[in-house]
Chain A
Amino acid sequence: MERILVVDDEVEILESLREFLTSINYEVHTAANGSDAIRKVEDVKPDVVLLDIIMPGMGGFDVLKKIRDIDPDIGIIMATAVADEELARRTLNLGAYDYITKPFDLGRVEEVVMIKMAERRG
C-alpha cells in the first residue's frame, strides 16, 4: 500500500487527514513536528509527505530541505495558510512537488496525492 506521511502541529488536522486518506486506501503515518517528521521519513519511507509550512520548532521549509536530502524522490506537498502565490512559488522552487491551501479541499488533496503516486509508479 502506498504510504503518506502527514506533518502538522495540529492533532485535529492530522486526524482528519488520516481518516480521509485511509478511506481512499493509503497507508497514513503522521508527525506532529519537524524532527519527528524527519525520523518518520527515514523509518517509514513514505511515497508522499503532506507538510505544513508554519510549525513551531523546525519550520516547513527546513523540513522540506532535509527530506529532499534524504530522498529527493519523495513527493512533498506543502500546505500553506491561504493562497499566496509567492510563498507557493518559493516552495516549488525549493523542490516541493505541489502545494495545497488551507482550508483543504479534500478532493484536491486526493487529486494531488493520486497524481504523485501515479508518477512514482511510473
Chain B
Amino acid sequence: MKAKKHNDRHEIKKKDSLLFFSRTGKRMKNRMHPEMFRSIVESAGDSIYLVDRDCRYLFINSAHLLRLGMSNEDVTGKSYGEFHTKRQAKEFERRVNEVFETGKKAQHEHRSRRDQRYFLRTFSPLKNPSDGEVIGVTVVSKDITDIKRAESALQKSEEKYRSIFENAVVGIFQTSPEGKLLNSNTAFARMYGYQNPRDLAAEIEDVGRQLYADDRDRRKVVKILMKQGSVGPCEFPVRHRNGSIFWISMTARAVRNSTGRLLYYEGMNVDVTESRLAAEKTRESEERWRQLFNAMPSGVAVLDAVDGGRDFIIKDFNAAGEKIEGIPGKDILGRPVTEAFPGVRAFGILDVFERVWKTGHPEYLPASLYQDGRNPGSWRENWVFKLPGGEIVAIYNDITGRKRIEEQLRASEEKHRGIIENMDEGYHEVNLAGSLTFFNESFRKMMGYSRQELPGMNYRKYAADEENAKKIYQAYNEVYRTGKRLEWFEWEIARKDGAKRTLMVTANLKRDREGRPSGFSGIVNDITEIKKAEQDLRQSEAILAEAEKIAHLGSAEVNFETGKVKWSDEHYRIWGYQPGEVKPSLELMINALHPADREIMAQAIVDEIEEKHCLDVEVRVVRPNGDVRFVRCISNTHRSAEGKAMRILGTAQDITDRKQMEERLKVSEEKYRNILEDMKDGYWEVDLRGNMTFCNPVLPEFLGYSGDEVIGMSYRAYMDPETAETVRESFQSVYRNDKPKMARYKITRKDGTQAIVETSVSLRKSKGGAAVGFQGIMRDITGRVKNEQALRQSRDYLQKLNDALGDAVATFKFPDRTIEYANRAAMDMSGYTGDEIFGRNAGILYPDEEQYLKVGDILADAMKKGKEVVRFETVLKRKTGETFPVQVTATFIKNGGVSRIITVSQDISLRRRAEESLRAAEELYRTLATNSQTAIYIVQDGKIRFTNPYLLQYSGYSEEELMGVEIEKFIHPEDRKMVRGKAVRMLKGELKSPYEYRIIDRYGQTRWLVETVASIDFQGRKATLGGTMDITEKKLLEQQLDNTREMLMQSEKLAAIGKLSAGVVHEILNPLNVISMRLQLLEKTEILSEKARNALEICTAQVERIVKITRNINQFSRISTRNVVQGNFNESAERVLMLMEPKLKTNNATVERAYAYDLPLVPMDISRIEQVILNLVNNALDAMSGREGKKIRACTFLKESDGKKFVVASFSDNGTGIHPDDMRKIFDPFFTTKGPDKGTGLGLSVSYGIIKDHNGRIWAENNEWGGASFFIELPIH
C-alpha cells in the first residue's frame, strides 16, 4: 500500500464502502435489520443512491437529497434525467449500462455543475444473490474537492521547488567527502563563471583547489561539518573561473545514511561580494554619520526600548547632548533614561517615546520645561522618531534662551496691546540698554520716525542733547535701583526732522517672568506747545515785571467806562505804598503830587483826552512819608471808533535818581569846566540883585574893565537897558525854575565897543539850599555869530527846500550822531519840534538801543568802506512812543574835519502793514492747511506740488518723497481710471459729490480716501487743489459689516441646504440605487458588445459621481459639531498633511510650515476641523494644477482682538488666485471653478458650515505674491 500513489486513501475508503455493501448485504439477510442498514446509509456523509437499468432512482440517501434540495417523494421513482442536463444524463446512462453489461464496478471523477465541486463516483453492480444477475447499480458519490485541491497544491509546490532549485539565486551544491562536485544548480555554476552545472561538473575535479580561493578554508569547513554536522553561514573568498576572487556566504550540512555513514555534503552559497562592499560602505557611512552625530548642534540620544516601551536604555548620546545636559556621555550610556534623567516623565517625553516606539510615527514635543534635581530647568523641544532597527532617536534643542525671549515678547504683548495702540499718549518700552523694544503709534508720531526705523533705537539717538540723554539715564538708573515708578518728568527729544519737542514721561521698571528687570516702559506726552505757550506767557510777564522794577516804571490804567483804576506793583511803590495797600484811584494819584504839579498833571490829562497833546510830564510825587520823587508820566489813550477815550494807559517812571544825578553831574561838570576853561571863558557870580560878587580874570577883559572895577558892578553897567531887561528876565526865569539857561546878549565895553557874548546862567545856592545868587560862564562869540548869520541865510534856503520835500530829511553829526537838522516832513514823522530834537542825540528817535546801535554799525561800516550812499531799513519811534518802520537812504559829507550824515527817510508802515497782513493771511492758510484733518494737496501738470502734514501722516510718505512725483503713482491701479474721470468731471463742475478711491501708502497698505478737487491758480499757473479725507477705518467697518451680512446669508443658505439635504439625499439615492444595481447586474451578463460595455462603464462612473455629490450634500445635515474637545490645531494640520503626503508628492507640491508652536489648545471637533483642513489643502492643490513649483504654506498663529484670543491658521498656495468676482461666491454651495471631473463645489461650503458651527470665521484673500490664502479663525473661549 505504501508503494501506491497519492490517492490510495480514496482507494481504501472505496474498498471499505464496497466491503460494507457486500458484507452488510449478506448480513442483512442473516442478522441485520433492514432499518439498521438504512440508518447507516442515511447517516453517511457521501451521496448514495440506487438506480435501475433505466436510471430511475430506487433509493436515495438523505445526504444526496440535501444536495439536490428535494424530498424523497420528489425523487423516488423518477429518472436521473429529470434532475440533470441532457449531457449529464447521457453520461450517467452510459456508465450504468456499462455496469449492467460487465457486472463490474466502475469509477470516475465527476465535476458537479451545481456547485463546481469534484466527486469520485463509484458505480457498483447490485446483484441478485440467487442468480448473480445485475439488478441495479449503487452509486456512491464522494466529495473529493478538498483532496483535489491538496493534490494540485502539492503538485504546484513540487514545481515550485524544482523551479527554485533551478532558478534560485542561491547556489546549491552537493560534494563528496573527497571534494568532488556531485550536483549543483545553475546559480551555483553561474556564480563561478560557468554556463551551466554540466560545464562546471566537467571542469571541476577538486572543489577545494579549484573553487576555493584558499584550500585551507575547505578543510576548515569539512572539519566543522565532521564535528557538528552543519556549518554556516560563514563567509570566505572563492575563485571565479576567470581567476578573480569573490566572496560567498555558505551554509552546509553533512548528509548521512541511516547507519550514520557520511554520504555527501550539501549546501548553499550566496555571493556576498556586493553586500561586503555595501557593508564596507555602511561602515564608512556609519563613521560619517557618527561624526555628524557628534558635530550636530542639537542634542541627540539613541534609545532602546525596555520593559515593553515603559523605559528606554540610553544607547548613544552625542556631544551636543553632553553639553546641554552637562553630563559626560559615558556616565549615562547603558542606563535607563528614567534614571539618567529623572525629570523625563514629568517632562512628558517618556509617553512620546513609548508612542513613537509603538507606532513608528515621528512626533514632535513642543517646547516644554525640563526639570530635575540637578537642573534649574530649561526649555527644550524634541523631535522623536524611530529607526528602522527599532531604536528611538530623540533630537532636542535647549531653547531656554529663545523661550525666554518668546515669553517676554508674549508678556509684553499681552499688555493691553489694543489700548496702547489706540491711546493718545505715547507708550514705549526699552530694554535695559535703553534701546526701543516696543512703542505705539502715538510714540512713533511724536518721534517722527518710521515703524521700521524705531525698533532697537537707543534713547541717546533721540534725546535732544547730551544733557537730556543723561537725564533719562539717571531716571532709568533710579527706577532700576528703587524699582519704583518715576512720575511725570520733563524730557526733551529731537525728532527725526530735528525739531525739538518737550515731553512729559514716566518711567517704570519692566520685569520678565522670573521677576528680573528686563527693561523700562514709559508713557509719553508731548507738551511742547503747552510748554512754549507757558514759557512765552511767563517770560513776557516776568520781563514786564522785571523791566518795571529795573526801570522803576509803574503803570496805571484808567478805564472811563467802568471807572476802574489799575496800578501795577511798581506804581504802588513809586507812590510810596506796598502793592495793594490802598485802593487805586485817579484822585489819589493826583493828590499825591507836589501842589505845584497837580495843575500841570490835571491839564495834561485833559489835553491827552482831548487829543491836544500826548501826555508826557515830569512831576513830583510826595510820598505819605514826605519823600519827594521825580516821576515822568507818559500815557496813551485807547479810543472807541467814534474817537471817544475809553481808557488811558499810563506809565510812571521814577526818575528821581536820574534827576539828582543829572544835577550833580551838571554841577560838577560845570565846576570842572570852569576851571578847565579858566583861560578862555569868563566866569562870573552875581548876587540875587545882579551885582558882581566874583569873577575870573578873563571876565574883566571881556568887559574892558579892570578886575577891581567889576566887583560890585551891576550887569546893567555893561549893556543897554533893553538887553539888561532880557537878562533880568532870564535871571528871574532861572530863579523860578532852578534850571540853568543859556543866554546870548550884546554888551558894551568900557571903551564903548560892543561884543556878543553867550553865557550860561544857573542858580547859586548856599549850603542849606537857599538861592543866594547866580553864576554863569560867558564867552565872546562875536566872530561866530557873524559866521552863523551867513550860514543861517543859506540854511533857511535849504530848509525851505527840504520842508517842501515829502520825505523826511535830517542831518546828523557823525560819529556822535547829534541831530543837527530835520525838515518839516521829518518833524511830522517824528512828532517832535525842532527845539526838542536839535542838538540831541539821535537815540531818542529809536525805540531801543539795539536799533540805534545797529544803524550806527551800518553807517560806520559804510563810511569805512567809503560808500557814498547806503540804504537800509530800521524802526523809529515817534514822540508818542509809537514805532514805525522806515526806509533810510544815507549819504556822507565831510566838512572841515566833521563828518555829517544826511538821511532821507520814508515811512514804510503802510507797505509793512500790507506785507504783514499778507503774511498773516498766508500764516492763517498755512495753519489751516497744517492743522487740517483734511489732507490737502496741490497738483500741477499731474505732479504733486504741495501737501499738508495730515496727508503725510496717513500716507506715511515724507514730503520729499511726494514732491514732484506723479500723483497717479499713489493711486491704487484699479482706481486710477475712475479717479481721473471723476476728477475731470468735478473740475468741470459736472460732479458735485466727493468720490472715494484707494491709495497705496508707503507701507504697501491700501487706504481709502474720499476726495474733492477744485481748480486753482498756483504760482501763476493753473493747478488742481485736492482735499481728501482718510476713511479707511470707516471703510473697514463697512466691510466688516458687509462680511457679517455675507456670513449671515451664507449660514442661512447652508441651513436651508442642511434641512433639505437629508430628505433629498434619500429621495435621490433610492432611484440611484436601482440604477446602480441594474448596472451591476448588467455587468455580470457575459454577452455584451464592447460599445455596450463602454456605455456601462460611463454610466457606472456617473452614478459614482452622483453618489459623491449626495455624500457631500449629506454632510450639511451633519455639520453640527458634536465632539468638541480641546484640540491642538498644529497637530491636526500636521495629521492632514501627513495623510496627504502621497498626493502632495505625486503633485510635486512642497509644503512649508510656519506653526506657532506655543499655540494654545482650542475647542474644536477635531475630525471636522481636519475635514476643513483637508478641503483647504485639496483646494490649494487644485488651484495650482498644471503649475511648476507648487508650494503650500501652512501657518498658524495666535491673535488677540478686543481682549479675545483666536487661533488663526492660513493655508496659502501659489496658484491662480481667486478672481475678484468669485470672491463672494467661493463659499456658495455648488460653486466651483474646477473642471467637472474634480470636486462637487461643496468642499468650501461644508468647511464654511463647520467653521461657522465653531463660532469661527473662514475667509479667503488673494496673496500679493500670487495665489490665494484661506484663513480659519477659531475662538479660544
B646 within 8 A of A: no
Best-surrounded residue of A19, A20, A102 (most CB of chain B within 10 A): A102
| Chain A residues with CB below 8 A from B1107, complex form | 82, 103
A110 to B1118, CA, bound (A): 30
Residue of A nearest to B1115 (CB): A82
If A10-B1070, A103-B1103 touch, does A17 touch B1077 (CB 8 Å cutoff)? yes
Q: Answer yes or no: A106 CB below 8 A from chain B CBs.
A: yes
Q: Is the beta-carbon distance between B1073 and A103 smaller than 8 angstroms?
A: yes
Picked from A1, A81, A84, A106, the residue with its CB within 8 Å of the CB of B1081 is: A106
Give how many A residues have a beta carbon under 8 Å from the other chain's beta carbons. 20
Q: Which 4 A-B pairs have the closest CB atoms?
A: A103-B1076, A16-B1077, A12-B1074, A103-B1073
Q: A62-90: which residues lie under 8 A (CB-CB) from chain B?
A: 81-84
A81, B1065: Cβ atoms closer than 8 Å? yes
The verdict on B926 contacting chain A, using a C-beta distance below 8 Å, is no
Chain A residues near B1074 (CB, 8 Å)? 10, 12-13, 16
Enumerate chain A residues within 8 angstroms of B446, measured Cβ to Cβ.
Answer: none
List B1067-1107 residues whose CB lies under 8 Å from chain A.
Answer: 1069-1078, 1080-1081, 1084, 1103, 1107
Helix, strand, loop or mixed for chain B's interface? Answer: helix
> Whole-angstrom distance between the alpha carbons of A54 and B1067 in the complex?
11
CB neighbours (8 Å) of B1114 from chain A are: 81-82, 84
Q: Flag whether B1186 is at the interface (Cβ < 8 A).
A: no
- Which chain A positions have C-beta within 8 A of B1071? 12
Name A's B-contacting residues (CB within 8 A).
1, 10, 12-13, 16-17, 19-20, 23, 54, 81-84, 102-107
Determine if B69 and A1 form an interchain contact, defined as CB atoms under 8 angstroms apart.
yes
Name B69's closest neighbour in chain A (CB-CB).
A1
7 contacts between A and B (CB under 8 A): A10-B1070, A10-B1074, A13-B1074, A17-B1077, A103-B1075, A103-B1076, A105-B1080
Bound Cα distance from A23 to B1082, whole angstroms = 12
Q: Which residue of B lies closest to A16 (CB)?
A: B1077
* Residue in B1075, B1081, B1111 whose beta carbon sits within 8 Å of that of A82 in the complex: B1111
Closest to B1083 in A: A106
Which residues in B have some Cβ–Cβ distance to A below 8 Å? 69, 1065-1066, 1069-1078, 1080-1081, 1084, 1103, 1107, 1110-1111, 1114, 1118
Nearest A residue (CB) for B1117: A84
Q: How far is the CB of A17 from chain B (nearest CB, A)?
A: 7
Check if A13 sits within 8 Å of B1081, measured CB to CB.
Answer: no
Residue of A nearest to B114 (CB): A25
Chain B's closest residue to A80 (CB) is B1069
A104 CA to B1114 CA, complexed, in Å: 17
**Residue among B1074, B1078, B1080, B1103 facing the most chain A CB atoms (10 A cut-off):** B1074
Q: A82-B1114, A83-B1111 are in contact. Are A13 and B1069 (CB under 8 A)?
A: no
Pairwise interchain contact B1081-A103, C-beta atoms closer than 8 A: no
In the bound complex, how far is the Cα of B1107 from the Cα of A82, in angstroms?
8
Contacts A81-B1069, A82-B1069 given; does A16 touch B1118 at CB 8 Å: no
The minimal Cβ–Cβ distance linking A97 to chain B, given in whole angstroms, is 20
Distance of A3 Cα from B1086 Cα, bound (Å): 26
A104-B1077 in contact (CB<8A): yes
Question: A10 vs B1069: C-alpha distance in the bound complex, in angstroms?
Answer: 11
Interface-centre pick from A23, A82, A107 (highest chain B CB count, 10 A): A82
Q: How far is the CA of A102 from the CA of B1075 in the complex (A)?
A: 11
Q: Is the CB of A82 within 8 A of B1110?
A: yes
- The reply to whether A20 and B1118 form a contact with Cβ atoms under 8 Å apart is no
A16 contacts which chain B residues (CB < 8 A)?
1074, 1077-1078, 1081
Q: A19-B1081, A84-B1118 are in contact. Are A104 and B1111 (CB under 8 A)?
A: no
In angstroms, Cα B1070 to Cα A84, docked, is: 16
| Contacts A1-B69, A20-B1080, A54-B1066 known; 14 new A-B pairs at CB < 8 A | A10-B1070, A16-B1074, A16-B1077, A19-B1081, A20-B1081, A81-B1066, A81-B1069, A82-B1107, A84-B1114, A103-B1107, A104-B1076, A104-B1077, A106-B1080, A106-B1081
Contact: A103 with B1118, CB < 8 Å? no
Residue of B nearest to A1 (CB): B69
Residue of B nearest to A52 (CB): B1070
Report B1166 CB to chain A, min CB distance, Å: 15
> Given the complex of chains A and B, what is the CA–CA distance between A12 and B1069 in angstroms?
13
**Least CB distance, A33 to chain B, in whole angstroms:** 14
> B1077 near A106 (CB under 8 angstroms)?
yes
A10 to B1071, CA, bound (A): 9
Q: For B69, list chain A residues within 8 Å (CB).
A: 1
Establish whether residues B1065 and A20, one from each chain, have CB atoms under 8 Å apart when the complex forms.
no
Most chain-A Cβ atoms within 10 A of its Cβ — which of B1075, B1080, B1107, B1118? B1080
A82 touching B1077, Cβ below 8 Å:
no
Chain B residues, CB < 8 A from A107: 1080
Residue numbers in B under 8 Å from A106 (CB-CB): 1077, 1080-1081
Bound CA span A44–B1118, Å:
38
Are A82 and B1078 closer than 8 Å at their CB atoms?
no
Cα A104 to Cα B1078 in complex, Å, equals: 10
B1077 near A20 with CB under 8 A, answer yes
- Complex alpha-carbon distance, A10 and B1081, angstroms: 18
Contacts of B1073 in A (CB 8 A): 10, 13, 102-104
Give Cα A106–Cα B1080 distance, bound, in whole angstroms: 7
Min CB gap B1123→A, angstroms: 11
A42 to chain B, nearest CB (A): 23
Contacts of B1069 in A (CB 8 A): 81-82, 102-103
Closest Cβ of chain B to A99, distance in Å, is: 14
Q: How far is the CA of A1 from the CA of B69 in the complex (A)?
A: 7
- Partner of B1077 from the list A54, A83, A103 (CB cut-off 8 Å) is A103
Report the minimum CB–CB distance from A79 to chain B (whole Å).
8
CA distance A106 to B1071 in the complex (A): 16
Q: Which residues of A contact B1081 (CB under 8 A)?
A: 16, 19-20, 23, 106
Closest Cβ neighbor of B1112 among chain A residues: A82
- A105 partner residues in chain B, CB cutoff 8 A: 1080
Tell me whether A13 and B1118 are in contact (CB under 8 A): no
The minimal Cβ–Cβ distance linking B1068 to chain A, given in whole angstroms, is: 9
A106 CA to B1100 CA in the complex, in Å? 13
A19 to B1110, CA, bound (A): 26
Closest to B1113 in A: A82
